[in-house]
Chain A
Amino acid sequence: MRPFAYARASDARDAVERFGPGAMYLGGGTNLVDLMRLGVAEPESLVDVARLPYDAIDGDGDGLRIGSAVRNSDLAAHPVVRERYPMLARAVLSGASGQVRNMATVGGNLLQRTRCPYFQDVSKPCNKRRPASGCPAIEGDHSNLAVLGHSGQCVATHPSDMAVALAALDARVRVTGPDGDRTVPIPGLHRLPGDDPSRDTVLRPGELITGVDLPPPPAGASKYRKVRERASFAFALVSIAAVLEVADGVVRDCRLALGGVAHAPWRAEIAEAELRGVRAGEEEFARAAEAELSRARPLPRNAYKVPLARNLIVRTLQELVT
């Protein structure tokens, strides 16, 4: 690990002011410190923001404001989250382990980096880690990498479960930075790789996530379901966050986000559009899933993710109807 300077920010303005070239914000450290140990992240200075006063969850009757320093465990255990946003609680609890969730923060969780094995190994080329060095995953082991929205530069997937649920809930991220405050909607926070996979999000240098705003819970039923080889402590092969509102047997509204399939939480807008106003039935669900996945470009070793995602969409929607 390269030597680095460390400072604990006293407030958000202090944090932003301390953020200079080569700096990174440190939340719970459950991903960044690992990456520093691996030599993947080599910040010259760390600005510790885990103790900034963004550790509260406030409900104002409509939506919910979640501070960026809230620990994942506390988010999942919060009574309002459990009662009104059970899909979010389930998504958070499906990630990592209890020990990691006790340390990880909401802001850090959104900014965690891909677990692509090539990205994590500095002895190997990786366009995300070192631009223009190449992507060995495309020819190598991409068995758990992207099938949607990837590019010839990068097939990495975004690892967060929480972000998938937030994408389906139309959450907004509150950000403060050198140019002031703004909000960024999820989806939209995370970028697809395109020609520049080195940037995971649309955040600008020095911008700090201070919180997540949840709109009021959507009408209808919701569910988060994560498929993985191991029953715990494993990243998703494919996950889904689904919200379905049905009236008189017809889909009034639907929101679907997929995890484990793309460089970002994948909001399945094509499927959503197909579903609105149609009968809530298995055939319709399958047609919508297939419409969404017609955009998939699987690689030889991850082709299984396409039928998996299809089945998962259909099955989850069926469970939300019954």
Chain B
Amino acid sequence: MNRVEGGDKVTGRARYAYEYPAADVAYVHPIQSAIARGRIRSVDASEALVMPGVLAVLSSAEPPPLGSREDPELALFQTDQVAYHGQLVAAVVATTLETARDAAERAVRITYDAEPHDVLLRADHPGLYTPKTVLPDFPAVSELGDVEAALADAAVVVDATYTTPTMHNNPMEPHATMAVWEEDGGLTLYDATQGATADRDSIAKVLGLPPDQVRVVAPHVGGGFGCKGTTRPNAILAALAARAAGRPVKVALTRQQMFDVTGYRTPTIQRVRLGADAQNRLTAISHEVVEQSSTLVEFGEPTALPTRVMYAAAARRTAHRLARLDVPTPSWMRAPGECPGMFALESAMDELAIAGGIDPIMLRVLNEPATDPESGLPFSSRHLITCLREGARRFGWERRDPEPGIRLDGRWLTGTGVASSTYPANRQPSSASATVEDDQFLVRIAAADIGTGARTVLTRIAAEALGAPAERVRVEVGDSALPKASLAGGSMGTASWGSAVVRACEALLKNGDRGTADTTADVEADSGFSRHAFGAQFAEVHVDIDTGEIRVPRLLGVFAAGRILDETLARSQFIGAMTMGLGMALMEETVVDEESGGFLNHDLAQYHVAACADVRDIEAVWIEEEDPYLNPMGSKGIGEIGIVGTAAAVANAVHHATGRRIRDLPVTPAKLLG
């Protein structure tokens, strides 16, 4: 089955937030802070306000009324305090985009009282502290047994520190909003969001409106990877600007602005210590993470979380500490926590395998836990070993010579690496309705299709639940006026929405013409099992001995993620995530400019994501898992597990190829030559 919205997309009929028409629409260009810390002394908008076409200038000189300042990233223009370089401190509304931008750049004069800033994360930062929880609500520290004693007694020990840089989501569609205030006082926002319901609720709260006065429309969204998972300043800015200008307005952040105000993956410094006995059985696992948040909001990325579910060992410790720096608040980027965390853990497992003289797959097989190693709960299903073995078979692992740095093919050193993947399989409450109209089944749910094919998979799920051909099912998503739904995030979208759709369709079959469902009670009953998807990633790399150039001719991912509901969509998700993981391994890094306190390489020419030429033979396959403890479809989320472990597999392969262990992402020619 092809994507149901495919025709609309390839013909350009599909509308994105910025593309909706509106009469007398005006345009907004935000102004960003030129300092990283301090306060705004003055805002002089007089010159801008007399420019032809300028309708309004927003700033803290006249703070617009808001309903809530609880989220300082969204409480625009409420204070003269500056918390980071690039923070939105003012905005110009004008009849044309060019006028708005011109006025913003040269006619609004802002002066600051700057204070010294601190933007560099260090393992010895004096401000480091242990937060109560990391996302979403896990204890920051977990400890079982005596790790130090177990390490002291271990036959083999790995003690290494791994670092990952700041990274940015770069969806094709920028963060964009059109805001229209209706005559009855209601607000309609066409907003690029990963969840219309949550976006509506958050916007209503910030503006002090009842949620039913706000409608968020987002039928098509050009990618998110997490950065559109929470309401971003562009949405609030559009609403405030439309109110100030008395007409609809459009805001689209520039690529450069997106780097500052739409979230990023925190840099991490991760010390991993593994201890094993003479038989290579893990006796101690310690994973200690240092990461950052802003002075505005505490965001604790759950980097050591995957270590809590991965391997058996009696003594175990995971801990997160944060430094609150003069930086924007980090946010979600595809598999927050699992992705950087598993780079460290799976690199360390590779190092332990070498230290213990054992094949890295055998090491993982030996240390497979019978139950969730920290909670003690049974796994609803766990087929990591099957994935590793199936991947080894397909990849030709048995022919591998473990010796590093010895295979030369022309001027290329070659090597292979493996790493495990894991990601939780959760779901959240959602609602849906199903009706019959004009001989068609019509299913409604405020789900988000951010390019994943959510509409299509929900159509399949509904058709199966109804026992009807998919051609007779139409699914409406992407509008907060539809039954409320959870976010496209945390790999929970399909599981959450699909559960509601199945129940609504079942209710329709029972009632005859209409069915509704709310899965809140079902989801609350989800307990008693540890639910996770697992996978194994294999990489072959070639490293040029003269230049340090790294090419990845082969990537293979084998995943166990419950029942795969749509093979085409699943493959796209897996190989897309693996490609993003390849970029993380070799090139993605946002450079912090210590002097200004901002980000330096804030466009797609300077911030490199993997391009087509970097992707050679990339293959994703899966094991059909039957897991009755998940949801009515028997599925696990697939949006994120594909990126988890890719970077470690590549870095492990680079070690196998060159004998060089790069513990600091990305792995670049400069590091291999240095």
Contact = CB atoms under 8 A, between A and B. Distances in A.
Bound pair: A and B?
Answer: yes
Interface string B13-29: 00000000000000000
A304 interface: yes
Nearest to B549: A227
A308 B611 contact: no
Given A117-B601, A227-B547, A231-B611, A304 B593 contact: no
Nearest to A118: B600
Interface in B563-607: 586-587, 591, 593-596, 598, 600-602, 605-606
Q: Which label, helix, strand, loop or mixed, suits the secondary structure of the A interface?
A: loop
A311 B669 contact: no
B613 A229 contact: no
Interface stretch (B37-45, B97-105, B415-423, B644-652): B97-105
Interface string A228-245: 111111100110000000
Given A123-B34, A227-B669, A311 B546 contact: yes
A216 B551 CA distance: 36
Contact of B608 (A124, A140, A141, A234): A234
Contact of A117 (B411, B600, B612): B600
A311 B411 CA distance: 12
Contacts of A229: 549, 586-587, 608, 666, 668-669
B673 interface: yes
A311 B547 contact: yes
Interface string B79-117: 000000000000000000010011001100000000000
B674 A303 contact: yes
Contacts of B521: none
Nearest to B86: A123
Contact of B611 (A118, A233, A237, A304): A233
B594 to A, nearest CB: 7
B278 interface: no
A136 interface: yes
Report the interface size class on chain A: 20 to 34
Central interface residue in B586, B608, B669, by most chain A CB within 10 Å = B669
A227 B595 CA distance: 29
Nearest to A301: B670
B102 A3 contact: yes
B600 A121 contact: yes
A237 B669 CA distance: 9
Given A140-B594, A141-B593, A311-B546, A230 B587 contact: yes
A308 B595 contact: no
A231 B613 contact: yes
A231 B595 contact: no
Nearest to B98: A1
Contacts of A230: 586-587, 608, 610-611, 613-614
A140 B595 contact: yes
Interface residues on B, range: 35 or more
B248 interface: no
Interface in B210-244: none
B551 A231 contact: yes
Contact of A139 (B595, B610, B612, B671): B595
Contacts of B330: none
B548 interface: yes
Nearest to B604: A233
Interface in B519-552: 546-549, 551
Contacts of B612: 232
B543 to A, nearest CB: 12
Interface in A176-229: 227-229
Nearest to B592: A141
Contacts of A121: 600, 602
A167 to B, nearest CB: 21
A315 interface: yes
Nearest to A231: B613
Interface in B622-674: 666, 668-671, 673-674
Contacts of B673: 304, 307-308, 311
Interface in A285-313: 302-304, 307-308, 311-312
Contacts of A124: 593, 595-596
B392 to A, nearest CB: 28
Contacts of A303: 674
Interface in A39-81: 39
A151 interface: no
A308 B608 contact: no
Interface in A1-53: 1-3, 39
B600 A141 contact: yes
B669 A312 contact: no
A1 B547 contact: no
B587 A304 contact: no
A57 B439 CA distance: 65
Contacts of B549: 227-229
A115 interface: yes
A112 interface: no
B496 to A, nearest CB: 36
B593 A140 contact: yes
Contacts of A3: 98, 102
Given A3-B102, A229-B587, A232-B613, A304 B608 contact: no
Contacts of B600: 117-118, 121, 140-141
A312 B546 contact: yes
Interface in A239-284: none
Contacts of A227: 547, 549, 669
Contacts of B105: 39
Contacts of B666: 229
Nearest to B548: A308
B585 to A, nearest CB: 11
B595 A136 contact: yes
A140 B608 CA distance: 19
Contacts of A314: 546
Nearest to B586: A229
A14 to B, nearest CB: 28
A153 to B, nearest CB: 17
A33 B348 CA distance: 47
A308 B669 contact: yes
Contacts of B601: 117, 141
Contacts of A231: 551, 611, 613-614
A190 to B, nearest CB: 21
Contacts of B669: 227, 229, 237, 304, 308
A223 to B, nearest CB: 13
A145 to B, nearest CB: 12
B34 A308 contact: no
Contacts of B602: 121
B660 to A, nearest CB: 13
Contacts of A238: 547
Contacts of B411: 315
Nearest to A134: B595
Nearest to B105: A39
A118 B599 CA distance: 11
Contacts of B591: 117, 141, 143
Contact of B546 (A141, A237, A315): A315
Nearest to B606: A117
B130 to A, nearest CB: 32
Given A229-B668, A304-B670, 15 more contacts: A123-B34, A123-B596, A124-B595, A139-B595, A227-B549, A229-B587, A230-B586, A230-B613, A230-B614, A231-B613, A232-B612, A304-B673, A311-B546, A311-B673, A314-B546
Interface of A: 1-3, 39, 115, 117-118, 121, 123-124, 136, 139-141, 143, 227-234, 237-238, 302-304, 307-308, 311-312, 314-315
12 contacts: A115-B605, A123-B596, A141-B593, A143-B670, A230-B587, A230-B608, A232-B614, A233-B611, A234-B608, A304-B674, A312-B547, A315-B546
- Which 6 pairs of residues, A with B, have the shortest CB-CB distance? A232-B613, A231-B613, A311-B546, A304-B670, A315-B546, A304-B673
